[in-house]
Structures are given as C-alpha cells and as structure tokens.
Chains A and B, each alone.
Chain A
Amino acid sequence: MGGSSAFVVSAKKRRMQQIMKMTGESLLFLVASFVAVVVLFIFYFVARDAIPFFQLRGFAEFFTSTNWYPADEPGEFGALAIIYGSGMVTLGSALIAVPLGIAAAICLSDVLPFNIRQYAKPVIEMLAAIPSVAYGFFALVIFAPLLQNFGGTILMWTWWVIAGPFLVLAVVVLGDMVTAGEPDEAKRDRKRLLMNGFFSVLALGLLYWVGNTLNAIQIMSGTNALNVSIILSFMALPTIVSVSEDALQAVGRELREGSYALGATRAETLVQTVLPAASSGILAAVILGIMRALGETMVVWMASGNSSQIPDPWFNYLDSIRTLTATIAGDMGEADQVTGSARYHVLFAMGLLLLIFSFVSNFISERVVVRQRKILSGQ
C-alpha cells in the first residue's frame, strides 16, 4: 500500500502539479517580459524627448558642427566634438584594458598555479566594487597633478607595464613558432634559446626607445583624455578579466590535452586551440568592458576637462575632451522645459545616441557569439 502510493500519482495531485507548473512558468515569463518592457519604455521615453530636438534644429548641426554653446542666445548645438570625445576615451580605455585584460585572463587560467589564482581573481574583481566617484576624485585630485608634474615618466612606466608582459609573451611565442619546424630536439632547444635572445633584444630596444620618447613629453593639463582613458580602463578591467577568464576555463581540459597529444607546444595550444574556442566569450567580455567605459559619467565629468573640442592633432590624448555622458550630467541643471526647449531636448538626443550605440554593439556581439558557436560545433 505504502509502496504503490509513492509511485502512482493521483489525478488530484497531478492536476495540482500542473497548476503549479503553469503558475511558475507564467510568473517567470512575466518577470522576463517585464525586463523587456522596461527597456522598451526607456527607449520610448528617451526618443519622445529627443525627436523634438531634431524637429527644431535638424540633423546637420548636431552631427557635423563642433560649436557647442547651449547657453548662448541663440544657442548652438553642434555635438560632433562631444561624440568624438566619447569615442576617443572609449577607444583609449579599450586599447589599454583589452590587451591587459585578456593577457591577465590567460595568465590566470593557463599560466598561474591554482592556489595563486584563487587569490588573484577576487583581488582583480575588487576593482569593480570601488564607486566611480572615488575613481573620479582620485583622477581629479591626485592623478591629474601627477600627470602634470611627472607626466612623461608616468607615460613611460605605463608603456613598460602594458607592453612588457605582452612583449615577453610575444618573444616566447615567436621563438616557439620560428623554431617549431626543427625536427631534432636538442638542436631545436638551442635554436629556440637563440631566437628568444634575439627577440628579447628587439623587444628591449622597442621598450627603451618608446619609453624615452614618452619621457620627454610635458603635459600642460592633467585633466585630459589620457587621464580618463587610464582610469576608465581600470574600471573596465575587472569585467574583461573576469568574464574572459570564465570563458577560457569553460574550454575544458579535453581540448587542451587533445592539442598536447597532437604534439602542439603550450603556446600553440593557447593561441590556436584555447583562444579560438573561448573567443566568443572573450568578445562578450570586451563588449561589456567597452560599454562600461562608454557609459561611465562621474569620472569623465570630473577629470576629462570638459572642453568641447576635437583635439589638435586629432589623436592627441593629452588634450581635454568632453563626452556625451558628462554633457548630459553637467548641462541637466540649466536645461529645463520652461527656460529653453532645444537645450532640454538636445540632452535627450545625446541619450538616444548612447542608447542606440549600446544596442547596436550588443546586437553585433550577440550575432558574433551565435556564429562562433555554430562554427565551433561544426555546423
């Protein structure tokens, strides 16, 4: 009797289970669709206030003029320099954070011993827990004067710290690749040592020459695109390291051991097997990191200098710039519906631009991830 009741489910119980299942599923569906609806609503409300700006002033001025004088009568609303500034610091921080982040992730997942990794990863992730206003304060009060006083030296050290590990990796990988064709093991080792030495000399020369050039630079104003790019890259690093390290871990032992079994070196395994297999995850990490940098407001508002200019020359990271996010934060106070309508709506136009940009990059990364997955699973 006891045994049979445990296996045979009564009709009533089954109905109960079905109802429970329905409620659970619809609840989850509701939550999921709520998130989607929130995103749609944000889009709708931002667009609703952005469109009047384009009706008032057209598209040409906003996208092609660099004259940003919203407080004048009549105001000028050329946002080209501001859009450029946003792009510039985002690119700058990506240039620093992406190589450094991926290198750190590779180091954590495939190079460092397990017990060190256990401590290193939480420390890196702690960077994400520091509030952005603290970063901004540091950038304005400590880092900007430092850049002015010891700018060249700091640039040199930054170059060494970033390029150093990468060049070491390059030397090892290049040495391996050049000598991989040599069949005799003893000869190969000797040749590899020679090649490593040769590439080391090249790398050291490069380190010294670029470092020396950077050391000679005198920075007039420390609140500039470089300051912000560096601080933003620190803020993007934990995201990039953590997510790409997870992706590298997810590749699994089998692929690595398979690669070694086929006679691949450690470098070949890393570059030709592990990295491609984890590439979609790494790309997702990079996009997440970049979005973090693009959307950051407090740091750029405090430490970018906020000059609405395209630097001269255009790649000069030592000039002050202004970003979309900082402009929205800084001009919000004065721009009220009652006192100036183009001035109010232009901030929404900027918000819409940021939204569209993040949607497009999310969409692209989604597509790449899907395609990568298909290729890897052999379809």
Chain B
Amino acid sequence: MPQLIKVRPTKIELIRLRRRLSLSQRIQKIVKDRLSILTMEFLQVARETVEAKENLLASFAEAYKAQSIVTGYYGYIALEKELVASEKDIEIAGGSRSIAGTVVPSFELEESKEVVRRYNLVDTSSWLDQSAQLFEKCLEATVTLAELQSSLERLGREINRTKRIVNALEHLIIPSLVETIKYLNMMFEERDREEKSRLKRVKVLIERR
C-alpha cells in the first residue's frame, strides 16, 4: 500500500503534485532507458573482459615459454647483461570516456617510436627477439584488461545505483503521488458535495422564515 504524502489539501498542492508526477514519469522513462543501455554495455564489457583475460593468460604462457628457452640458451647472467641495456619506459595515454553518464577510464599503450631493439642484435639469436615480441603483446593485453576491469566495476556500481532509483520510482514515488492525487481529488469532491448540501439546507431555512 503506497504511503500518502503529507500535504495541505489545497488546489495549489494538487497542481504541484500533478507536476511532480509528470516529472517523475518522464524521469522514470529516461532512467529505464539508461539502465537498459548500461546493462547492454556491462554485458559487452563482461564478454570482452573474459576474452581479454584468456588472451592475457595465453600471451603470458607463450612469453614465459619463449623466455625459458632463451634463458636455457644463454644462461641468466648473459641474458641479464643484454637486457639491462634494453630497459625503457612505457608510455600509456590515459583518459576517460563516458557511457550514458558513467565515466570509465580509457587507456592506450603508445606505440614505441624505436624500431631497433637496444640489445646487441649480432650476439643474440632470434629467440630473444621472439621473446621480446611476446612480452610486448603481454603488456598490451595487460593494459586492455586493466581498462576493461575498471570499466566493469564502475558500470556494475552504476547499474546498482540506477536500479535502486528505478525501483524507488516504480514502487514508491509514483504510486504515492498517484495515491495522494487521488485522495486530494476525492477530498475536493467531498467538499463540493458538502458545500452543495449546506447551500440547500440554508436555502430551506431561508424559505421557512
């Protein structure tokens, strides 16, 4: 049973309530649409997250396999000596984008401007090149997964919040407004009837005199 809103039983209040009801109904439509968009995006991101995670695990498995071969071929010390010189910073362009009002992060790994790797290409074999290439793929997959997981969390939170608003509108605000408007209408009709019967009574009394 929806709760009646405590208002003064006046025509002005009735007009205000009607306005509030139409606003609430419009907002309900918008919020419902927003919820359906967010849900669609959430499912899409969830699917992509699963794919990205599988991709990441596969890339790491491949990369570690290649690295273990390289390590076996050169030995730890020799390999480390080559790799120390090839260390470089990675550049990630970070920003944000919005999905139906929900801000989610957006990351993109900047492509390296250096074409040549910094380690000695003469003394090393193609195994090392392959290993380096595979680890670059891992890096890209990690950045993608970070973006997707963060988006997934934020979208989930927003869906929960929006769902609460939709439920509040559907089960609380709109029914209570409808009920209060109905109550006020009935009250005004009752007042009219009272007024009519009072006037009739007065008329009878005047006629008796």
Real binding pair: no
Q: B residues within 8 Å of A by Cβ?
A: none
Q: A residues within 8 Å of B by Cβ?
A: none
